[in-house]
């Protein structure tokens, strides 16, 4: 019997695999396949790939396919017969271990599944600063009725319509952000690593020159890129100096994209209107970080992808890829192990 292992018993209830998902997947498998559902707790935050449970390691010994939250190296060491592994996360940095890079196992991820929820979070973050909700929240906490930040000649209250939204990383998440920004009347410019046809009323730019254009022209710079050798630290002090003073930086990609010390200094000195950050170089964000104490920073604890609709979208991707795998067709969302995403 060919074997599929499901290791999705996430400790976070919102991402724990419901029973109905397992039932649907059993129905999708031919009679010569068996399926094992791991019940030991897993933790899929970030890129997943935490230590595998003893139950999961035993289950993959005779498995051909493994689905989990990240791919710990011991899964590959124990699962010598694995031919396809899939992660319920979009990020894969934690899974790209030496074992994974050296293996010929096909590796797929959940890029795009998290896009709608993350894009709505981005929109909320943009509106938070565009409509001055940061000022309103501070005044409310102090029990103060204060229109001063709103009615000055230089008040930073704006509309999304007519603004420019620059998206760094135009994959599944970036496209969802672009669709919502365009719906509100924004101009969208997006940075891609590889040339691609323009579409969706989005201007596509490339390379270092493209990044500089986005930084210089955008009212909102949205980071949706994965963390790779090329993107790590890309938003440094020099990059921040290119942004207009009224601009807002939004990061839902990875914390390592940003030089946090340089960002904190730019925000402290009023060099930028604000920053909305869901991801950080170290998580949880250390208590000593100055980002906690800056009034023009909105912090969320790496929750931009949280939604009760996760399994609806994840199951659709998995079912499609199972059908492709069984018929020998190319899988969706195959990770480029060399590129890092």
Peptide bond into 234 cis (omega under 30): no
**pLDDT surpassing 80 at residue 196:** no
Cβ atoms of 252 and 121 within 8 Å: the answer is yes
Do residue 162 and residue 102 come from a single domain?
no
**Where does residue 142 rank: exposed (0-12), middle (13-18), buried (19+ CB within 10 A)?**
exposed
Do residue 229 and residue 277 come from a single domain?
yes
- Is there a domain that residue 334 lies in? no
Do residue 230 and residue 98 come from a single domain?
no
- Is there a domain that residue 293 lies in? yes
pLDDT digits (tens, 9 = 90+) for 128-147: 999 999 999 999 999 999 99
Q: Is 78 a catalytic residue?
A: no
Do residue 102 and residue 119 come from a single domain?
no
Q: Which of 3, 175, 187, 302 is catalytic?
A: 302
Do residue 50 and residue 122 come from a single domain?
no
Do residue 166 and residue 275 come from a single domain?
yes
Give the alpha-carbon dihedral of 250, 12, 172, 242, to 10 degrees.
Answer: 20
Do residue 129 and residue 268 come from a single domain?
yes
More confident residue, 128 or 200: 128
Q: Which of 23, 159, 283, 312 is catalytic?
A: 283
Can you give the pLDDT at residue 46?
A: 83
- Is there a domain that residue 84 lies in? yes
Do residue 132 and residue 255 come from a single domain?
yes
Q: Which tokens belong to 25?
A: 């997947």
Q: Which tokens belong to 290?
A: 């100055």
Do residue 145 and residue 50 come from a single domain?
no
If one counts the domains in the chain, the total is 2
Do residue 181 and residue 91 come from a single domain?
no
Q: Is 271 a catalytic residue?
A: no
- Which one, of 89, 85, 95, 98, lies nearest residue 59 by Cα? 85
State how far the Cα of 65 lies from the Cα of 44, in Å rounded to an integer.
18
Measured in residues, the chain has a length of 341
Do residue 146 and residue 81 come from a single domain?
no
Q: Which of 254, 260, 273, 314 is catalytic?
A: 254
Q: Which tokens belong to 292?
A: 């906690």
CATH (domain of 93) = 3.40.50.720
- Is there a domain that residue 23 lies in? yes
- Is there a domain that residue 340 lies in? no
Can you give the pLDDT at residue 48?
A: 85
Can you give the pLDDT at residue 45?
A: 87
Do residue 168 and residue 281 come from a single domain?
yes
Question: Which CA distances in Å does 49 have to 44, 52, 73, 110, 264?
Answer: 7, 8, 8, 14, 30
- Is there a domain that residue 108 lies in? yes
Domain that holds residue 171: 115-299
pLDDT digits (tens, 9 = 90+) for 19-49: 999 999 999 999 999 999 999 999 898 888 7
- Is there a domain that residue 230 lies in? yes
Cβ atoms of 136 and 142 within 8 Å: the answer is no
**pLDDT surpassing 70 at residue 199:** no
- Is there a domain that residue 338 lies in? no
Average pLDDT value for residue range 298-313: 97
pTM of the entire structure? 0.94
Three-state SS letters, 65-103 = EEEECCCCHHHHHHCCCCCEEEECCCCCHHHCCHHHHHC
Q: Is 246 a catalytic residue?
A: no
Angle between helices 172-183 and 115-130 (to 10 degrees): 40
């Amino acid at each position: 019997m060919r074997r599929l292992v499901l290791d999705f018993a996430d400790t976070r209830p919102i991402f724990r695999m419901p029973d109905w998902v397992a039932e649907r997947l059993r129905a999708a498998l031919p009679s010569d396949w068996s399926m094992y559902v791991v019940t030991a707790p897993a933790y899929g935050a970030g890129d997943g790939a935490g230590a595998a449970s003893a139950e999961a390691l035993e289950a993959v010994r005779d498995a051909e396919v493994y689905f989990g939250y990240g791919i710990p190296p011991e899964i590959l060491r124990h699962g010598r017969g694995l031919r396809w592994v899939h992660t319920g996360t979009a990020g894969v940095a934690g899974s790209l271990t030496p074992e994974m890079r050296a293996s010929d196992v096909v590796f797929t991820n959940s890029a795009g599944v998290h896009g709608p929820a993350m894009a709505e979070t981005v929109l909320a973050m943009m509106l938070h600063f565009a409509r001055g909700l940061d000022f309103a929240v501070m005044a409310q906490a102090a029990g103060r009725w204060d229109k001063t930040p709103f009615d000055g000649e230089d008040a930073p209250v704006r509309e999304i319509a007519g603004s420019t939204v620059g998206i760094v990383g135009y994959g599944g998440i970036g496209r969802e952000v672009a669709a919502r920004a365009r719906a509100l009347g924004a101009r969208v410019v997006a940075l891609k690593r590889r040339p691609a046809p323009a579409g969706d009323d989005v201007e596509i730019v490339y390379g270092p020159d493209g990044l500089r254009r986005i930084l210089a022209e955008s009212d909102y710079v949205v980071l949706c890129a994965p963390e790779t050798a090329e993107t790590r630290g890309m938003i440094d002090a020099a990059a921040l100096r290119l942004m207009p003073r009224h601009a807002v930086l939004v990061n839902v990609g990875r914390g390592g994209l940003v030089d946090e010390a340089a960002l904190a200094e730019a925000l402290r000195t009023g060099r930028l209107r604000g920053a909305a950050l869901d991801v950080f170089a170290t998580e949880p964000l250390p208590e000593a970080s100055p980002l906690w104490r800056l009034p023009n920073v909105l912090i969320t604890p790496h929750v931009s992808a949280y939604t009760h609709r996760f399994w609806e979208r994840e199951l659709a991707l998995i079912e499609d890829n199972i059908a492709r795998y069984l018929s020998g067709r190319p899988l969706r969302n195959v990770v480029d192990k060399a590129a890092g995403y």
